[in-house]
Amino acid sequence: MNVLLLAVAVFLLLNVAALLWRVVHGPHPADRLVGTQAIATQSIGILLLLSEASGDRATADVAILLALFAVVSTAAFVQRLMPHVHGERPGDD
């Protein structure tokens, strides 16, 4: 079972490498955001698989923290992007 979990983790890691291309070359900021969120989601999956394969529960705690940081970073990005979507400039009231 551990071999299967590790194989799936390696597959997800290869997906993360492919998603890095989307984040770097993106053409739009929204593409970069989606790529970053997909990387975070797959990284959480990798950490949870490694936690289960090794029996180390601290790795699962790190995955939970990564999920929290992903939500906060998405909220910050969207808040910063929203004025540009509506044609307003930051600071205009």
Token couple for 12:
């997800």
With 90 as the cut, is the pLDDT of residue 6 above it?
no
Q: How far is residue 79 CA from its own chain's centroid? A: 18
Beta-carbon contacts of 16 under 8 Å, excluding residues fewer than 6 positions away, are 39, 42, 43, 46
With 80 as the cut, is the pLDDT of residue 53 above it?
yes
Task: Note whether residue 49 is domain-resident.
Answer: yes
Higher pLDDT, 58 or 29: 58
Task: Note whether residue 6 is domain-resident.
Answer: yes
Task: Note whether residue 90 is domain-resident.
Answer: no
Task: Note whether residue 88 is domain-resident.
Answer: no
Task: Note whether residue 89 is domain-resident.
Answer: no
Task: Note whether residue 77 is domain-resident.
Answer: yes
Task: Note whether residue 43 is domain-resident.
Answer: yes
Token couple for 90:
């930051």
Residue 15 binned pLDDT confidence (cut-offs 50, 70, 90): very high
DSSP 91: T
Task: Note whether residue 59 is domain-resident.
Answer: yes
Q: How far is residue 19 CA from its own chain's centroid? A: 10
Percentage of the chain with pLDDT > 70? 86
pLDDT digits (tens, 9 = 90+) for 17-43: 989 988 898 788 778 888 889 999 999
